[in-house]
Amino acid sequence: MKSPAEVRSSSWLGNVSEMSDALSFFSVLAPRYGDVCVFRVFSERRFYVQNPDLIQQILTSHKWVRTPISRKLLGSFLGESVFSQEGELHLSQRRLIQPAFHRERLAHYAQTMVAQTAHTIAAWRVGEQRDLVDEMMRLTLEIVSQVLFGSSTSHEARQIGEALLIIQRSVEDDYRLAVLLPLWVPVIRFGKARRAVKVLQATTQRIIAERRAAPREHDDLLDMLLRTHDEDGSRLTDAQVCGQVLALLFAGHETTANALAWALYLLARHPHVLARLRAEVEAVCGDRLPSITDLPHLRYTEQVFKETLRLHPPAWYAERVPLEDFQLGDYIVPKGTAVSFSVYALQRDARYFEQPEAFLPERFAPENVGKIHRYAYLPFGLGAHQCIGNQFAMIEGQLILATLASRLALSLPSAYQPQIRALITYGISNGLPMTVVGQRAEPTHTAAADAPSQAAH
Ligand code: HEM
């Protein structure tokens, strides 16, 4: 067995000070120290891995779990959910949620995605400047809230959404701390978020209690979770439904919003890509709004979204610990030792992607896909915790991009530079100020098979 290279550190803090810019810190490790190295948080040793096959081994083995600190962090404000669960419990709960993401359900959600996007941009006027980061955040939150709770409870859903945004920001501060603290620190106080957490849980529990008291069809994801049964007849308790609903709200909007904001930024800076995307949407949809049945023909739009997720992966970083000593390639990772990897650095590694810094949607064209290492592109993770909403997110990303590109012309100041915020998710911290310079009239019709049922209001 080999000993991994040790990352240099000059103080008793280990590499803590460099980790305050974690994105840059992890990006230089593989070029300097190789695929596997060890860095230090105070005196605690942690592994860093940047090799697709080794990452695949970690993510697909049941001998690895999320770090106790990240489970505690997410569990402390979401309650029990797939984020904090591991092993059998995680598997059985995930199985109960999975039907909510079946194909026919996704087709139903797609109607909400397009209707809500059309409704949002109908209020925009030529000459107006909008912050597209903010707009995408609101839009994806509205979509996931509607999908979860339906329009009947949209007022409460909005309250939940607002509480969630407060929590997300303050939890990110705690997360920064959690990543920097050694794993043995037993308790972290997530003070700032606690009040908003109470609002969030109370509102969700009230909606659940109302539904249980007066069961009627709502045709939304919450209904599905309340009614869902496993093969053995087991079902989710109210507390479990609450935790899973909050997990879906949490995971289901900021990631997609960040991806969309990055896509709009990249399109603004690559007019030839935008022109090709627009031409595709025009050829497939003509004057009407896009629908899920168009997606197999919106291939270039898909490539644009995939390439955005490669250059700017919203879930850019992950950690795991082995439950027992684990042989990882030529190295032994001792039980309980944290292993970090940066999806961001992996997806920009020149060994796996030619011209890694370039925005080249064609690399995801069918004729090129085979050239990409299977485990070097992991925007949705892999294994037991792989994103449960990956198809949802892909459909949402493509439909929103297609709708925006076909109905609006937006311009971005040439001097604008995005500032990166890389904490739990990876996004733009200084907004995306875009001006509406052209707008197409309201569509006269939608695809016959796909008319929005949840009318925008
Ligand atoms: C572009 C958008 C998205 C990206 C890049 C993304 C990425 C990810 C990644 C990388 C993971 C795995 C994290 C890990 O291994 O520790 C994950 C988990 C998860 N995602 Fe997503 N996600 C997106 C959208 C969504 C949406 C729309 C939903 C739901 C509507 C969702 C729900 C979840 C849930 C519930 C988990 C936890 C799964 C588990 O632990 O079993 N995600 N996501």
| Secondary structure (DSSP) of 438-453 | EEPPPPS---GGG--S
Nearest one of 215, 216, 295, 200 to 248, comparing CA atoms: 200
Give 248's contacts (C-beta < 8 A, 6+ positions apart).
97, 144, 148, 221, 389
Instruction: Compute the average pLDDT of residues 326-346.
Output: 97
- Report yes or no: 452 and 446 within 8 Å, Cβ to Cβ: yes
Ligand 1 pocket member 255 (CB < 6 A): yes
- Residue 456 covered by a domain: no
The structure tokens 């120290």 sit at 33
Q: Most confidently modeled of 108-117, 164-173, 181-190, 246-255?
A: 108-117
252 Cβ below 6 A of ligand 1: yes
* b/e code 2-30 from CB counts within 10 Å (16+ = b): eebbebebeeeebbbebbeebbebbbebb
Q: Given CA atoms 188, 192, 198, 203 in this order, what sign does their dihedral have?
A: negative
Q: What pLDDT does 157 receive?
A: 65
Nearest CA to ligand 1 atom 21: 387
Closest atom of ligand 1 to CA, residue 253: 27
Are 226 and 241 a contacting pair, CB within 8 Å?
Answer: yes
Strand residues in 323-422 grouped as ranges (E): 326-328, 331-333, 339-342, 408-411, 420-422
224 lies in a domain?
A: yes
pTM for the full predicted model: 0.92
Which atom number of ligand 1 is nearest to the Cα of residue 396?
A: 27
pLDDT band at 450 (very low <50, low <70, confident <90, very high): very low
What mean pLDDT is predicted for residues 387-413?
97
Kindly state whether residue 83 falls inside one of the protein's structural domains. yes
In a domain, 455, yes or no: no
Does the beta carbon of 377 lie inside 6 Å of ligand 1?
A: no
Contact predicate 345/51, CB 8 Å: no
Q: What is the mean pLDDT of residues 19-37?
A: 94
Question: What is the whole-number distance in angstroms between the Cα of residue 248 and the centre of ligand 1?
Answer: 8
Give the pLDDT of residue 171: 67
Q: Which tops the pLDDT comparison, 446 or 310?
A: 310
How far, in Å, is the centroid of ligand 1 from the Cα of 381?
8
Ligand 1: which residue has its CA nearest to atom 26?
Answer: 252
Q: What is the count of structural domains for the chain?
A: 1
- Residue nearest (by alpha carbon) to ligand 1 atom 23: 255
Long-range contacts of the stretch 212-220 (C-beta < 8 A, 24+): 212/238, 218/150, 218/152, 219/108, 219/150, 220/146, 220/147, 220/148, 220/149, 220/150
Output the pLDDT for position 177.
Answer: 59
Q: Is residue 387 part of a domain?
A: yes
pLDDT at 457: 28
Cβ(110)–Cβ(291) below 8 Å? yes
Residues in a beta bridge with 39: 46
Neighbour tally for 335: CB within 10 Å: 12
Distance CA 432, CA 426 (A): 14
| Cβ of 82 less than 6 Å from ligand 1 | yes
Cα(78) to ligand 1 centroid in Å equals: 15
CB atoms within 10 A of CB 341: 25
Query: How confident is residue 193, by pLDDT bands cut at 50, 70 and 90?
Result: low
Instruction: Determine the distance separating the centroid of ligand 1 and the alpha carbon of 7, expressed in angstroms.
Output: 31
Does the beta carbon of 388 lie inside 6 Å of ligand 1? yes
pLDDT of res. 181: 55
Q: Which helix (H) or strand (E) holds 59?
A: helix 52-59
Task: Please indicate whether residue 381, judged by its CB atom, sits closer than 6 Å to ligand 1.
Answer: yes
Report the C-alpha gap between 41 and 44 in whole angstroms.
5
Q: Is 262 in the pocket of ligand 1 (CB under 6 A)?
A: no
Provide the CATH number for the domain around residue 282.
Answer: 1.10.630.10
Any atom of ligand 1 within 6 Å of the Cβ of 34: no
8 pLDDT above the threshold of 70:
yes
pLDDT of 453 higher than 50: no
Mean pLDDT of all residues in the chain? 87
143 CB near ligand 1 (under 6 Å): no
Which residue range is the domain that position 61 belongs to? 5-450
The mean per-residue pLDDT over the stretch 350-376 comes to 96
Domain-located, residue 391: yes
CA 9 to chain centre: 32
With a 6 Å cutoff on the Cβ, whether 320 touches ligand 1 is: no
Residue nearest to ligand 1 atom 2, measured at CA: 256
Q: Which tokens in the block code for residue 291?
A: 């629908």
| 457 located within any domain | no
Bigger pLDDT: 388 vs 222: 388
Look at residue 37 and tell me if it is in a domain: yes
Three-state DSSP class for 258? helix
User: Distance, CA 83 to ligand 1 centroid (Å)?
Assistant: 9
Nearest Cα residue to atom 39 of ligand 1: 385
Candidates 387, 398, 399, 424: which one to mutate for ligand 1, based on the most atoms within 8 Å of Cβ? 387
Check if 65 has its Cβ closer than 6 Å to any atom of ligand 1: no
pLDDT at 164 exceeding the cut of 60: yes
pLDDT tens, 42-63? 889 999 999 999 999 999 999 9
Is residue 94 within 6 Å of ligand 1 at its C-beta? yes
Q: Is the pLDDT of residue 358 over 70?
A: yes
